[in-house]
């Protein structure tokens, strides 16, 4: 009551002061009022009941009054704030009537919307006004929410919808206060699903057999609609209960449940589908009961008939077991043969009465077939078979007699046909021999014994019969010549061991329809004619033999005029004798006029006994004799096939040389190992690249374009490209004078094995002259080197100044044989006369000229080198060191006697003034030839040699032995733990020659034990295995063969391929497993690996291509082309 009185007093005061109610609010907050309210209204019971007013909410902000009080003193009193259409009478923001604003301050009021669990709420709305409250129209945007209906907007999340919707306010009052905003919330009502009615129940495929079960997929058709409408509800039918589709005999009421796709919009529905379950009818008993193991006299009860059987029905379904009542009336326990009895199906006693009709058709019976054991034995009566193969005279029995050729024939017993097989009697004799012997058939009739073996030997015995055949004779055609090729020259006639076999052609069987004849042989030669045989002739010889005609006629038809002489042709084979190398050859190599000592070659140079460009290799001085004699065997030496074409690493290499006799029919080839010293080529100098004269003053070192490689020349004239590291410190970017940039040669892996530096080392150099302001030339060459007669001379003149510069001889002349190139300033040529030439040089360009007086002194050529040739009488070898020298050089001679000989003396062949003392002499002017003389016998002071024995995994019984006659009187044994057998001593760890007491040692040597692995009692077969080389390159390496477990050192086999470097052998084709050697445990293959050689780019090659076509016309041309291409490209690069 007190609050009511207070409110009346406040209303009276505000009316009197004409101020808005908000100015007198007790809590200072703003309020939302219905639109069209003018002034203040007083609460009283009728109004409060209508508006939902309570004493606690009258001051609540944002709760507008929906009705006007009748006592309100306003011209709008009693009016509904909304029209009949639900629209606001006045939709513009309004201030309370009678309010007075002292100043026009603008306020922003905002109405927010909250979808309250839905989506698509309208955006917030803002209104600017100077009033203390505004009316904001409700947005026409309607939010959504699945399964719910929008009812309108409320002041709280669970409040009553009073804005928008169906009949709600169209505006909301937002009043002045904290936040200057109001939020209204969407109110939702959950939708109720529509009841579904099944208008057409689904159907099931009939008939429905008892015991079957329908699945949901068996339901066909059916339709459901929304109740009271014609709207079809999408969804699916299924059986409501577990096993709801099972069929029982009689009527089956099956409950069906319909489930709509949209369960929120529609309800489920149910219906009943009725089907009648019928029983299956038994139509047959698919399997008969078979009884064959009961003896005669077995009682019916003891037959062991099955109590139940499997049956099939009219639907194809099977049921088992169905009891059977067997009928014994048809059974006789005392008769043979098959008896058939029947049984009646007792379905009523089975467990399938719900599924099967209990009374099957009369013709559906169970069947039992009974055959009692018959122990009687019968002997069959035979109708003989026929022999389908035609037989011919001289057929071999074991080839033509076979059971496969028997056809037809029958056997009967007890009125029945007896099954079994006909076979030839293997024990019968043909001409006293068995059918499986190598007996020849004679022409004429022949009777064969045949045995019939029944399949059932308990009931039937074997029986015999005979088959008649006719053997047709073959017809003799002509003699077949035999050949004897494995006899050695000198074989006597008796030692030929000619057999009595007579070879000839005959025809007359189905395999030779064209009558060409087949070869036959019979031992019917009685004697051979020796009168035409020469045991010492290599020519083919014909020997005839006498044939016993009577021994052929039982098998063949022989024409009267047939020549029945046996013929054999003999070609005696050579029987070459063993040879031995008594003096090993030496390898000599030279490149043009440049020579190396004996048995010496540079790395990566062709190891050959032939000429390759200017390189010449030869094997000289070797002596081979018939083993055990002093007779020399003529022939030639060569490197063994498979020897590496190039020796790549420096050091001493063992190389096998092979002796090939001139007449291999008389002498056998042999081989030995020589040691070749492989050395690096020494660099003589490096070619000077083309000068750099086109770079401007101040060019940085890195931009000079210096070549990455230079040409180096070996002492023998061989050249190659080598990387160079240029010294930046030798370059001055601010000098206009000629300057030399030096560089250090950088060796790669290939160069490291090919070249070596002399002392001092050779360096690279290139001339550089930077381009500056135009200036006259100034000759900076102060002196010229002297030359030598007949020795090439080359020097370049240099002058500072602007290029190009022209060079001339202003006064005097160059030495004879030399010339000046006016463009390059090079003096080149070969001097022909000694003496000093003085001349004045002139250098000229567009800015001026300069002269300088210089001289060149040409000296006499140094003494020429002469050659020392050492030969022998064939009983040893001799060498000279050095093999070439200038006059005055001391030469040392070395003589090595052959086995059984000793060195006697040196014999001077040419240069008569030569005197040899203690195996030495001083080289005279001119070539020298000396000859080593040996004598047979023992040297008065023999040299003692030591042979060391290497166990090679085992232990020798003696570590070493000495000899003074170059042979060992005996050889020690060796042992090794494990399963190994000792094979002997060899010159190499793997391979090599076997050492015997006849082996000749010319120096101290080490020999090696060889072993064979014998673990587990297994002895590898004595078989030669083959190692094949797949090079993939230009060269081919011959296959290598060896016994089981032989070790092959692959480093000795080096292939070649143009443009590539060989990098080693691999055990697999994918080149993943690198190997340096293999043990032969079977046939094997190794694969070559290659690396591409990158050749520096050169200039134009069009003319070179034309020369390539011409030069490739021959092999020699191709080889020349390779060298010329490389030299041309290199020289062009060097001059650019």
CA 174/CA 181 separation, integer angstroms: 6
Query: Rounded to 5 degrees, what angle do the CA atoms 255, 260, 266 make?
Result: 110
- Strand segments, DSSP code E, in 928-967 are 928-936, 945-950, 955-956, 960-963
* Angle at CA of residue 858, ends 855 and 864, nearest 5°: 165
CA–centroid distance for 1025 within its chain? 27
CA 253 from chain center: how many Å?
A: 71
CA distance 515 to 55: 141
CB atoms within 10 A of CB 1135: 13
Check if the beta carbon of residue 139 is closer than 8 Å to that of residue 110. no
Query: Per-residue pLDDT averaged across 289-305, rounded?
Result: 92
According to the model, what pLDDT value does residue 1023 have?
A: 57
Question: How far is the CA of 726 from the CAs of 238, 720, 767, 1133, in angstroms?
Answer: 94, 18, 12, 17
At 1034 the pLDDT is: 64
pLDDT at 165 over 70: yes
Nearest CA among 860, 411, 899, 417 for reference residue 623: 899
| Residue with the larger pLDDT of the pair 89 and 13 | 13
Q: In the predicted model, is pLDDT for residue 1103 greater than 60?
A: no
In this prediction, residue 1038 carries a pLDDT of 85
pLDDT-derived band at 1092, boundaries 50, 70, 90: low
Copy the structure tokens of residue 1019: 């002895």
- 109 band by pLDDT with thresholds 50, 70 and 90: very high
Name which of 448, 558, 568, 557 is nearest 501 in CA terms.
568
Alpha carbon distance 1085, 1027 (integer Å): 6
pLDDT per position as a tens digit, 1008-1040: 999 887 754 444 444 578 899 998 766 788 888
Q: Which residue has the higher pLDDT, 588 or 65?
A: 588
Q: Between helices 1115-1135 and 1102-1111, what is the axis angle to 10°?
A: 160
Closest by CA position to 37, among listed 71, 72, 9, 11: 72
On whether the pTM is more than 0.95, the answer is no
- C-alpha 967/C-alpha 951 separation (Å) is 20
Cis peptide before 207 (omega within 30 of 0): yes
Mean pLDDT of 139-145: 91
Q: What is the mean pLDDT of residues 739-767?
A: 92
Given a cut of 80, is residue 617 above it in pLDDT? yes
pLDDT band at 941 (very low <50, low <70, confident <90, very high): low
Confidence (pLDDT) at 706: 95
Q: What is the mean pLDDT of residues 766-779?
A: 89
Per-residue confidence at 353, pLDDT binned at 50, 70, 90? confident
Residue 1093: predicted pLDDT: 60
- Residue-level pLDDT at 52: 45
Tell me the mean pLDDT in the region 1098-1107.
35
Q: Which two tokens stand for residue 964?
A: 């003074």
CA 541 to chain centre: 58
Tens-digit pLDDT profile for residues 729-740: 999 998 888 899
Which fold would CATH assign to domain 774-862?
Immunoglobulin-like (2.60.40)
The dihedrals phi and psi of 848, each to the nearest 5 degrees, come to 155, -160
The DSSP line for 993-1006 is: PBP-TT---SS-EE
Every domain of the chain and the residues it spans: 2-190, 200-278, 282-371, 381-472, 474-570, 579-679, 681-772, 774-862, 863-940, 945-1017, 1025-1092, 1102-1135
Confidence band for 939, pLDDT divided at 50, 70 and 90: low
| Residues in Cβ contact with 950 at an 8 Å cutoff, skipping those fewer than 6 apart | 956, 989, 1006, 1007, 1008, 1009
Q: What angle do CA 460, 465, 555 make, to 5 degrees?
A: 150
Residue 87 pLDDT: 35
Give the closest residue to 1011 by CA, choosing from 952, 1079, 1054. 952
Range name among 2-11, 320-329, 523-532, 864-873 with the lowest pLDDT average = 2-11
Kindly indicate the confidence band of residue 864, based on its pLDDT and cuts at 50, 70 and 90.
confident
| pLDDT band, residue 810 (cuts 50/70/90) | very high
Least confident piece of the model among 142-156, 308-322, 531-545, 1007-1021 = 1007-1021
Can you state the percent helix, strand and coil of the chain, rounding each to 5? 10, 40, 50
User: Where is pLDDT greater, at 884 or 516?
Assistant: 884
Distance, CA of 697 to CA of 737 (rounded, Å): 10
Pairing of strands 482-484, 566-570: parallel
* Correct CATH for 2-190 of 3.90.650.10, 3.75.10.10, 2.60.40.4270, 1.10.3720.10: 2.60.40.4270
CATH class for the domain made up of 945-1017: mainly beta
What digits encode the pLDDT tens for the residues 543-584?
999 999 999 999 999 999 999 999 999 999 988 999 999 999
Residue 887 predicted with pLDDT over 80: yes
Q: List, for residues 663-681, the tens digit of each pLDDT value.
A: 888 899 999 999 999 999 9
Of the CATH numbers 2.60.40, 3.40.50, 1.10.10, 2.20.28, which one belongs to the domain with range 863-940? 2.60.40
Q: Which residue has the tokens 């606001």?
A: 88
| Residue appearing with tokens 């000899």 | 963
- Top CATH class, 381-472: mainly beta
% residues pLDDT > 90 (the chain): 48
Q: How many CB atoms lie within 10 A of CB 216?
A: 14
> What pLDDT shows up at residue 1111?
32
- What is the rounded average pLDDT of the residues 823-846? 93
Average pLDDT over residues 94-98: 41
For residue 567, the number of C-alpha atoms closer than 13 Å in the C-beta half-sphere is 11
Average pLDDT, the chain: 83
The closest alpha carbon to 581, from 680, 511, 667, 500, belongs to 667
pLDDT surpassing 80 at residue 1136: no
Q: What is the mean pLDDT of residues 610-628?
A: 89
Q: How far apart are CA 999 and CA 945, in angstroms?
A: 13
Task: Catalogue the E-assigned strands of 864-944.
Answer: 866-872, 876-881, 884-885, 890-897, 901-910, 920-922, 928-936
Q: How confident is the model at residue 186 (pLDDT cuts 50, 70, 90)?
A: very high
Question: CA nearest 1129: which of 817, 835, 716, 721?
Answer: 721
pLDDT at 1119: 35
- Reported as a single tens digit per residue, the pLDDT across 241-280 is 988 899 999 999 999 999 999 888 899 999 999 999 999 9
2-190 and 1025-1092 share one fold: yes
pLDDT beyond 60 at 1000 = yes
Asked if 887 and 863 count as a contact pair (C-beta separation under 8 A), the reply is: yes
Between vectors from CA 344 to CA 338 and to CA 349, what angle results, nearest 5°? 135
pLDDT digits (tens, 9 = 90+) for 1060-1073: 778 888 988 878 88
Choose between 516 and 810: higher pLDDT: 810
C-beta separation of 172 from 123 below 8 A:
no
Q: How does residue 98 score in pLDDT terms, banded at 50, 70 and 90? A: very low
Is domain 1025-1092 given the CATH code 2.60.40.4270 in the classification? Answer: yes
């Amino acid at each position: 009551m007190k609050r009511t009185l207070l409110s009346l007093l406040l209303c009276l005061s505000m009316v009197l002061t004409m101020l808005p109610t908000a100015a007198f609010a007790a809590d200072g907050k703003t309020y939302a009022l219905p639109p069209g309210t003018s002034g203040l209204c007083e609460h009283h019971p009728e109004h409060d009941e209508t508006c939902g007013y309570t004493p606690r909410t009258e001051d609540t902000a944002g709760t507008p009054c929906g009705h006007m009080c009748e006592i309100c003193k306003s011209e709008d009193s009693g009016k509904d704030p909304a029209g009949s259409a639900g629209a606001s009478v006045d939709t513009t923001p309004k201030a309370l009537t009678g309010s007075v604003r002292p100043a026009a301050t603008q306020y922003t009021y905002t109405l927010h919307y909250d979808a309250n669990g839905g989506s698509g709420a309208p955006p917030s709305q803002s209104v600017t006004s100077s009033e203390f409250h505004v009316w904001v129209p409700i947005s026409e945007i309607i939010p959504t929410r699945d399964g719910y209906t929008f009812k309108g907007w409320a002041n709280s999340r669970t409040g009553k919808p009073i804005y928008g919707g169906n009949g709600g306010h169209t505006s909301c009052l937002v009043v002045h206060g904290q936040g200057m905003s109001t939020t209204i919330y969407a109110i939702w009502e959950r939708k109720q699903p529509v009841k579904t009615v099944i208008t057409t129940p689904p159907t099931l495929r009939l008939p429905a057999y008892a015991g079957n079960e329908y699945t949901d997929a068996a339901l066909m058709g059916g339709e459901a609609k929304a109740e009271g409408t014609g709207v079809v509800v999408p969804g699916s039918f299924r059986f409501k209960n577990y096993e709801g589709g099972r069929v029982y005999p009689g009527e089956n009421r099956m409950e069906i449940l319909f489930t709509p796709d949209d369960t929120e919009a529609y309800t489920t529905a149910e219906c009943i589908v009725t089907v009648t379950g019928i029983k299956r009818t038994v139509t047959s008993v698919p399997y008969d009961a078979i009884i064959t193991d009961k003896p005669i006299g077995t009682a019916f009860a003891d037959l062991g008939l099955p109590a139940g059987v499997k049956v099939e029905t009219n639907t194809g379904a099977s049921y088992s077991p169905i009891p059977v009542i067997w009928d014994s009336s048809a059974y006789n326990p005392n008769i043979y043969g098959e008896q058939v009895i029947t049984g009646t199906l007792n379905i009523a006693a089975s467990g399938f009465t719900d599924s099967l009709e209990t009374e099957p058709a009369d013709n559906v019976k169970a069947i039992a077939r009974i055959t009692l054991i018959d122990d009687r034995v019968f002997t069959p009566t035979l109708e003989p078979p026929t022999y389908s193969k035609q037989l011919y005279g001289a057929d071999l029995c074991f080839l033509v007699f076979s059971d496969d050729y028997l056809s037809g024939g029958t056997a009967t017993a007890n009125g029945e046909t007896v099954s079994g097989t006909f076979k030839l009697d293997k024990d019968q004799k043909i001409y006293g021999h068995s059918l499986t012997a190598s007996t020849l058939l004679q022409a004429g009739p022949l009777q064969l014994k045949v045995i019939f073996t029944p399949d059932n030997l308990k009931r039937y015995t074997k029986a015999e019969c005979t088959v008649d055949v006719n053997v047709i004779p073959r017809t003799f055609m002509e003699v077949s010549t035999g050949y004897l090729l494995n006899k050695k020259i000198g074989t006597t006639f008796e030692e030929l061991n000619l057999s009595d076999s007579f070879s000839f052609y005959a025809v007359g069987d189905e395999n030779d329809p064209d009558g060409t004849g087949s070869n036959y042989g019979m031992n019917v030669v009685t004697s051979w004619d020796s009168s035409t045989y020469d045991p010492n002739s290599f020519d083919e010889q014909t020997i005839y033999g006498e044939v016993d005609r009577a021994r052929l006629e039982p098998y063949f038809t022989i024409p009267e005029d047939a020549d029945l002489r046996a013929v054999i042709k003999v070609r005696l084979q050579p029987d070459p004798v063993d040879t031995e190398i008594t003096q090993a050859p030496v390898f000599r190599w030279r490149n043009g006029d440049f020579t190396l000592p004996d048995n010496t070659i540079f790395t990566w140079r062709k190891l050959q006994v032939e000429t390759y460009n200017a390189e010449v290799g030869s094997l000289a001085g070797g002596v081979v004799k018939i083993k055990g004699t002093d007779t020399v065997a003529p022939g030639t030496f060569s490197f063994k096939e498979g020897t590496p074409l190039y020796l790549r690493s420096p050091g001493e290499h063992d190389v096998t040389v092979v002796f090939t006799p001139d007449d291999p029919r008389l002498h056998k080839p042999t081989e030995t190992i020589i040691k070749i010293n492989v050395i690096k080529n020494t660099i003589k100098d490096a070619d000077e690249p083309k000068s750099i004269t086109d770079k401007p003053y101040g060019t940085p070192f890195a931009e000079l374009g210096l070549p990455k490689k230079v040409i180096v020349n070996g002492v023998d004239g061989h050249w190659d490209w080598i990387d160079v590291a240029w010294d930046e410190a030798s370059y001055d970017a601010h000098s206009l004078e000629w300057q030399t940039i030096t560089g250090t040669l950088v060796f790669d892996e290939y160069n490291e094995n090919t070249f070596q530096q002399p002392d001092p080392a050779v360096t690279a150099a290139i001339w550089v002259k930077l381009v500056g302001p135009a200036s006259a030339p100034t000759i900076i060459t102060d002196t010229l080197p002297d030359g030598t007669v007949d020795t090439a001379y080359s020097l370049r003149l240099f002058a500072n100044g602007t290029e190009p510069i022209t060079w001339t001889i202003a006064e005097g002349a160059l030495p004879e044989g030399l010339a000046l190139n006016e463009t390059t300033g090079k003096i080149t040529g070969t001097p022909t006369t000694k003496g000093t030439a003085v001349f004045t040089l002139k250098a000229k360009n567009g800015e001026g000229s300069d002269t300088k007086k210089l001289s060149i002194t040409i000296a006499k050529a140094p003494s020429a080198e002469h050659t020392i040739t050492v030969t022998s009488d064939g009983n040893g070898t001799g060498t000279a060191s050095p093999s070439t020298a200038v006059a005055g050089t001391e030469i040392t001679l070395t003589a090595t006697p052959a086995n059984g000989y000793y060195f006697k003396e040196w014999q001077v062949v040419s240069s008569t003034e030569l005197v040899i003392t203690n195996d030495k002499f001083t080289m005279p002017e001119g070539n020298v030839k000396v000859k080593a003389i040996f004598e047979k016998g023992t040297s008065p002071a023999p040299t003692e040699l030591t042979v060391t024995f290497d166990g090679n995994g085992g232990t020798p019984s003696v570590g070493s032995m000495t000899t003074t006659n170059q042979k060992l009187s005996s050889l020690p044994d060796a042992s090794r733990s494990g399963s190994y057998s000792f094979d002997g001593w060899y010159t190499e760890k793997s391979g090599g020659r076997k050492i015997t007491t006849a082996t000749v040692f010319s120096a101290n040597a080490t020999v090696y034990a060889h072993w064979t692995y014998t673990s587990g009692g297994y002895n590898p077969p004595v078989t030669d295995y083959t190692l094949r080389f797949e090079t993939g390159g230009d060269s081919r390496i011959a296959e290598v063969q060896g016994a089981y477990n032989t070790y092959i050192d692959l480093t000795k086999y080096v292939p070649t391929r143009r443009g590539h470097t060989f990098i080693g052998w691999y055990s697999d084709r994918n080149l993943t497993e690198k190997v340096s050697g293999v043990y032969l445990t079977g046939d094997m293959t190794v694969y070559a690996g290659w690396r591409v050689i990158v050749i520096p780019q050169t200039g134009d090659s069009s003319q070179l291509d034309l020369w390539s076509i011409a030069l490739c016309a021959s092999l020699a041309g191709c080889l020349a082309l390779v060298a010329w291409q490389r030299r041309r490209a290199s020289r062009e690069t060097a001059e650019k």
